Structure 1
């Protein structure tokens, strides 16, 4: 006999007495009970059910004699197998059966039992609670011990699927028998050695135990047989997660055992409430050896390790039961003074039957309540008539809790999560630390207070880890180990440009565009906005060069204006010279469009201004070259070039070439104008504030046209370099255009290979270098003569040199 389960009988008796003494429910009916034991045996289960239905010495179906029992419902059993064995017979007679044990939900589908009512919540909620509990504490490498029957197999299959979906692995799965008697010692040894080895794995600190109380008793007994001191070994101390089927119970033969091994266990239970008067009922209980309770003698002897005297008033030997023993003196593993969850389910089951019977009578009779007097008037009640009232029942029990069945005949409720605290004197205490409430608001179905939990002593009240390997730290990601479960993995650094900012990330991620990975790749750092500023060394250098050459250009222009009437200035069309110098001055100054933060106006006009001004400058150089060739050809006898030589040809050349570039730039600005833009991709650690050209094609068309003019000018100047003229500039123009073309040919690959502000710096340098090349190569020889050798700048000297 399992001593602790005797409370189930006492709960039944207490509840029936409470109802019979209540004038508000069944005032004219007295409830009674018959109590039978299944002995965890199929044969005895069927026998007791037949004994319940038929009073004859021989069991003959459908034959009744002796006193009428008026059976209206059956409560039981604790285990699923016992319940369904009972249902095999009870369902034939449509007798309502209210079970108070929890078992796998597929049993309800495989065994169609319409007379079944379960005083426990749906077990699916328990599955969800276990998974949420593991996820809450980040336990991903757990062991599972399940009872060796159909329910255990279903639990294993269901949990494997659910755990896999939530990235949790089962390190091992062991079957636990629920029998106290084994055929051979070798069978026990085989089971314990395999289980002992699994439990000793230091990586597995969380274990799920699924099974009824007999399975836990068997497991504890086998572990003790394998190693009597197993419960003291730190390597075996784990976090146990128990399902609601399990009671922490010991048999009379395990008096030297305790539950220190299960210290800190987390278990699910049907939420019990301390029913008013029940504990006092237990405290006042005195055994009456003559009463009709056939289990009392066995219970008392095993609970208090004594022998019941017969007759009790004659023998007073040592070791005999006196009847003065107190139930509260028994440790919790043997008997609990507060109402257990299973006893509470029995309490509610009795009330459910009473309320259903009350509703039945109310629907048929208009009875009068007579306080203090009850007589049996239920002989006309048939068990099958109770179903209609049980299915729609909803009532408040004495504790104010609303009870009702759902469409599947299950109690519409959830589970409570408890924590086991053990003591050296074989006693224990349980503390509520959370709950599973399927009827709660979304996101609040599962709650737990981790700060209230008490762990095994070897964990030093630090949250235990239960993982296959250490967590992958930020900056790394998981890599699956070949041939092992997915919870076992290696940690590898994140690829370049990616980060992981949490532990155990499956894949590294990229930072947002405006951030970049930190040095350790464990976070993102904001990028710095950058542009070519006049306040940094590179910007200051380029601006200084631009200002210097602008001043030189102004100086040269001043010299040419001052000496405008000298032969060397008047030669080759001084108006073109002025235009060229002004164009070069604007070329140097237009570099300031490229310095500083990009703005709408500067972005809109800087490339167009640069393209048009440079086209004017190159057009002037081309006009100068054409002037030299035209002048030479006009001197030949009979030449028609005389009418073209002069301002008409040069003006046409400059206007035509410049207006063509102006037209290209106008189309560009009208269709896809440049605009300010933040480039977040080019550089890893910087955001480049730049001008987006709008259309890269139009940008290269502008450059291409300028290159085309430069090549034509270079070719024409090269052909005219040896023409006989004292002031032939073609040789200087040839060299300047060769330098000019070299700069811009080098510009394209350099520009494309540069990033950020250095792209702008490359373009500014090309503008300054090409402009400076034109200024120096074309005007330095003339300035040398005008400033340093003025004696050569005379008409006589020119004629002498020509002759």
Structure 2
């Protein structure tokens, strides 16, 4: 019901054929400020604001003369000055809303509203809408560590607040944010200077006006504030006055956003077509004319130094701030602002009660002006750069920003060189950012990723863990497959062990051939030649079984290497044990009345070897049946490597195999040790004792070495133990006989072998 009443009241006002628009412009020298001038002598003419006022008047008169827009309705206007005071601006606006503008400074707002629209200050509204786009541009150039200088009023504070909010979202940090106003004391200004000089940021974002630089530029030059990258707002970056004041090139290279130029037919001519005679009774135009041409209409005391105004002076013959049209984009914005209000009122008049009233868009000199759901216009700016050309500044367009484009195409800039302004250099791939304690997020240290972690982007905030079979490369920027380690035939260690194994096999075969050729000689026939050939065969298998430990582990190789090793060594030790028992039995047989050899003849010897070996076979079968060895990826010993090894499956089975071999070796050693002093000239028990001593020593030292060796060295230790013990048996048992057969054939006689030696 209230909405209907308000709309009805609006239509009644519009039917009176007169609508009042109010446009408040900062530092517009009209009636309110003129009163201040009378009492405080603060009055001064601002040509820029006069140009803006003329733009509003031009648009209003053009609408009133239009037959299509607001037909039958005339728009009026009042222009007020806030005198650069936020408090003044708010009070005037509230007074206008309540229709009590004449008593805005002293009386309460009680009168019913009469004003239908208020167009706010030029600076504050623009600074708030441009702030986010300014932040995106700063981020585009990679400036994450910047300082800020703001005008201490609604324009600077509101704009800086919006910029700060947008900057935080984009990862931009403010090292400082200092306020400034032209009335600041020298102490406050020096504080600003010291802050800038002590800072590390090289970029300064300035939410100030061209009037502020009239003072700041001289102070900056005095304190050598040069070499900074200035980022400007629309209020000064495209102002020719700033370029003219910058005699010492303090602002050289400044960059900022400017409002795109739009051509409005007749606007320039209207602004320049101003004459006090056409504005009879208007004190402001008289004051403006006197300031423009530096003359006086009323000359007191016949002063010869004062030029008298005639009212016929020509603007075309002057070159000053008012005739400068570089701010035409601002004038066009004022023009479009008035038209936006007019189109809104036009749509209101065409709406029925109870309907939603809104303005989406309208066209203005071929350009479509439209607003989003929040009532904000589309951000479209030119990016300009302040460059020095032939000892004077020029504004050069280096890019554009258009928020109607997709996000990745909104900003387009082309600049030859861009300075660097960061608190910390970007962290390269392979590192992560760690924020420095007590400092903004833009100040950080670059921490190298730990082993097994990577970061493949610049300025990563964390390192990613590589997958299980991968590891980080030395630069920590890529996961690579882990090196796979196993004892292979291609590496030096594998080649050497293979060569030793084959050599041992070859030597064993050579000895077997020699023994076979001299099988009928006494030295070969002694101590059961059949066991000797079986022992040589088992030793050849022991040498060859070491080859199963070399190469990439697989299911069959893991099973084969341990079972073949266990069975062949038991076969070997069983033969040695049989030979030892034969030595003891042979000595007992020489005693009177002894018939012991019939209980341990060749059949019993074969049976004993078979029985001892069968026990090992049974242990291996039981091991393979319950929990056999299997190939395994060991990821724990080395973080950067994968060790391919044969997991034992059942550790009990493995140690049972080794334990049985050790038991037979120990039994053989004890028996051989007891028979070492028998009175035969060629007593084989001595050599068996030495061989078992070597065998046991090798395997006793093998256990701690096997447990402590890493990766492929575990396998190498096991192969070394096999080869060493095999060579020990071969050397101690067969080389002495081999030496007599080849080198001392005269001793290879029954007489020599049967001769007795005294018992000690």
> What TM-score bracket applies, with the shorter chain setting the length?
0.7 to 0.9
Secondary structure of the 2:179 match is: strand
Q: Say which of 70, 73, 84 aligns to 1:40.
A: 84
Q: Say which of 618, 632, 638 aligns to 1:682.
A: 638
Separation of aligned partners in 1, 2:266 and 2:561: 93
Alignment of 1:289-438 (within 5 A): 289-291=277-279, 295-302=284-291, 304-307=292-295, 309=297, 317=307, 322-326=312-316, 329-330=319-320, 335-337=324-326, 339-340=328-329, 342-363=330-351, 388-390=356-358, 393-407=360-374, 410-414=375-379, 416=381, 418-422=383-387, 428-429=394-395, 431=397, 433-435=399-401, 437=403
Distance 1:681 1:510, change over 3 A: farther
Separation of aligned partners in 1, 2:328 and 2:709: 80
Q: Say which of 42, 49, 63 aligns to 1:5.
A: 49
Is 1:651 paired with 2:651?
A: no
Indicate conservation of the 8 Å contact 2:217/2:250, yes or no.
no
2:146 match: 142
2:215 match: 221
Separation of aligned partners in 1, 2:312 and 2:555: 104
Distance 1:772 1:797, change over 3 A: same
Separation of aligned partners in 1, 2:511 and 2:102: 138
Separation of aligned partners in 1, 2:518 and 2:656: 37
Alignment of 1:55-204 (within 5 A): 71-78=115-122, 80=124, 100-103=125-128, 120=129, 125-126=132-133, 130=135, 132-148=136-152, 168-177=172-181, 180=182, 182=183, 188-201=185-198, 203-204=200-201
Deviation of 1:499 (Å):
8.7
Secondary structure of the 1:267 match is: strand
1:376 match: none
Indicate conservation of the 8 Å contact 1:499/1:521, yes or no.
yes
Separation of aligned partners in 1, 2:730 and 2:668: 19
Separation of aligned partners in 1, 2:82 and 2:506: 113
Indicate conservation of the 8 Å contact 2:231/2:254, yes or no.
yes
1:97 match: none
Distance 1:783 1:710, change over 3 A: farther
Provide Cα deviations, 1:270-326, integer angstroms capped at 9, x if missing partner.
Answer: x54414426654576353532377654445554x45336579xxx995887754224
Indicate conservation of the 8 Å contact 1:327/1:335, yes or no.
no
Deviation of 1:4 (Å):
1.9
1:26 match: 70
Indicate conservation of the 8 Å contact 1:239/1:264, yes or no.
yes
Is 1:768 paired with 2:723?
A: yes
Distance 1:170 1:228, change over 3 A: closer
Gapped regions of structure 2 (runs ≥ 5) = 1-44
Separation of aligned partners in 2, 1:770 and 1:268: 88
Distance 1:19 1:263, change over 3 A: farther
Secondary structure of the 1:34 match is: strand
Distance 1:757 1:647, change over 3 A: closer
Separation of aligned partners in 2, 1:674 and 1:648: 36
Deviation of 1:558 (Å):
1.6
Distance 1:24 1:786, change over 3 A: same
Is 1:447 paired with 2:444?
A: no
Provide Cα deviations, 1:141-174, integer angstroms capped at 9, x if missing partner.
Answer: 3222233357866776776677677665433332
Q: Say which of 661, 681, 692 aligns to 2:645.
A: 692
1:207 match: 204
Separation of aligned partners in 2, 1:526 and 1:57: 83
1:90 match: none
Distance 1:399 1:632, change over 3 A: farther
Provide Cα deviations, 1:438-468, integer angstroms capped at 9, x if missing partner.
Answer: x654x5276342xx23xxxxxxx64222244
Distance 1:243 1:614, change over 3 A: farther
Deviation of 1:582 (Å):
2.0
Deviation of 1:502 (Å):
8.1
Deviation of 1:102 (Å):
3.9
Separation of aligned partners in 2, 1:747 and 1:765: 9
Separation of aligned partners in 2, 1:692 and 1:563: 45
Provide Cα deviations, 1:717-773, integer angstroms capped at 9, x if missing partner.
Answer: 224423347476443233223222332333344455555655544443333222211
Deviation of 1:545 (Å):
2.3
Separation of aligned partners in 2, 1:667 and 1:634: 46
Indicate conservation of the 8 Å contact 1:282/1:327, yes or no.
no
Separation of aligned partners in 2, 1:393 and 1:649: 108
Number of residue-to-residue matches in the alignment: 695
Deviation of 1:196 (Å):
1.8
2:34 match: none
Separation of aligned partners in 1, 2:49 and 2:177: 29
Deviation of 1:265 (Å):
2.4
2:510 match: 555
Separation of aligned partners in 1, 2:294 and 2:392: 19
Separation of aligned partners in 1, 2:245 and 2:461: 49
The answer to which structure, 1 or 2, has the higher relative contact order (CA under 8 A, 6+ apart) is 1
Gapped regions of structure 1 (runs ≥ 5) = 81-99, 104-119, 365-384, 454-460
Distance 1:319 1:667, change over 3 A: farther
Secondary structure of the 2:205 match is: strand
Residues 145-154 or 701-710, more deviating:
145-154
CA RMSD of aligned residues (A): 5.0
Deviation of 1:3 (Å):
2.1
Secondary structure of the 2:315 match is: coil
2:227 match: 237
Q: Say which of 651, 674, 684 aligns to 1:722.
A: 674
Separation of aligned partners in 2, 1:345 and 1:565: 125
Indicate conservation of the 8 Å contact 1:546/1:589, yes or no.
yes
Separation of aligned partners in 1, 2:674 and 2:116: 131
Separation of aligned partners in 2, 1:446 and 1:745: 78
Separation of aligned partners in 2, 1:785 and 1:707: 36
Separation of aligned partners in 1, 2:273 and 2:143: 45
Provide Cα deviations, 1:529-550, integer angstroms capped at 9, x if missing partner.
Answer: 7765556554443333222221
The normalised TM-score by structure 2 is 0.74
Indicate conservation of the 8 Å contact 2:95/2:103, yes or no.
no
Secondary structure of the 1:363 match is: coil
